[in-house]
Chain A
Amino acid sequence: NAGVTQTPKFQVLKTGQSMTLQCAQDMNHEYMSWYRQDPGMGLRLIHYSVGAGITDQGEVPNGYNVSRSTTEDFPLRLLSAAPSQTSVYFCASSPLGNAEKLFFGSGTQLSVL
C-alpha cells in the first residue's frame, strides 16, 4: 500500500531558486495538506485542500503556492527559496468526514543555502 508518497526525500537549493515538492495519495482522500516541521516548533500548516480545484491557506502560507488539479496530487511550490524555508515538509491526507485523522507522507528535508 503506497499511501501518501512524497518526492524528493532530500533537496538542497540556493537562495532564489524555485522548486516543487510533489505529493500523491492513492486512498481517494478529499482532504490534503502541507505541514512544515522546524526544530522546537512542532508542525505548522502551510496550505490545505478539501478537493480538486479548492485550496486554502494555513498558518504559515507566505512563500508557498499550491494547486489541486486532481484528487490524487497536491504539489507545493517554492517560487523563490529563502533560508527561512529550510525545514522538513510533510504532506498529509484524510477523508473529509474524518479530516483530523491524517495520513502523513515520510517527509522532504529541504535545505536552502
Chain B
Amino acid sequence: DQQVKQNSPSLSVQEGRISILNCDYTNSMFDYFLWYKKYPAEGPTFLISISSIKDKNEDGRFTVFLNKSAKHLSLHIVPSQPGDSAVYFCAASSGAGSYQLTFGKGTKLSVIP
C-alpha cells in the first residue's frame, strides 16, 4: 500500500511558466515532508522541506505548500527553467527519531525552452 503518492508520472511546462508538482499521503503520522530532485545518473539531492506545523515554506523559486486536512502537498517552481528538468520525489517521515523516509514514485518534469 503506497503511503506517499505522486499520481503524475510526468509533467511538461514552458520555460518561464509555473511548474506545480503534487503529492498525496495516507499516513496521518507523517509530520515532516521533503522534496528531492534527481538528474539522470546522479543521486537525489535535497530541495526543500516543510514541517506539519507550517502550511508554506519558500526558498527562492521553490515553494512547498502543505494541506494537512487533505493530506496533500505541492511544490511550485516559479519561473521554471530548463535546468529544472529532472525527476522530483516527494518524501515523508513520522517525526524526529523515525529515521525512515517514505518516498513517492517521482514525477519527471520537462521544462521546454
A42 touches B99 (CB 8 A): no
Q: Closest Cβ of chain B: how far from A10's Cβ, in Å?
A: 11
A21: interface (CB < 8 Å) = no
Chain B residue total in the interface (Cβ 8 A): 22
Provide the bound-state CA to CA distance between A44 and B102, in Å. 7
Which residues on B sit within 8 Å (CB–CB) of A42?
A: 4, 89, 103-106
Q: Which applies to chain A's interface (DSSP): helix, strand, loop or mixed?
A: strand
B73: interface (CB < 8 Å) = no
Known interface pairs A45-B100, A58-B100; A100-B105 also in contact (CB < 8 Å): no
Query: Which residues 67-99 in B have Cβ within 8 Å of A in the complex?
Result: 89, 91, 93, 99
Which residues on B sit within 8 Å (CB–CB) of A35?
A: 103
B59: interface (CB < 8 Å) = no
Q: Residue on A with the closest CB to B105?
A: A42
Which residues on A sit within 8 Å (CB–CB) of B99?
A: 31, 33, 48, 50, 56, 99
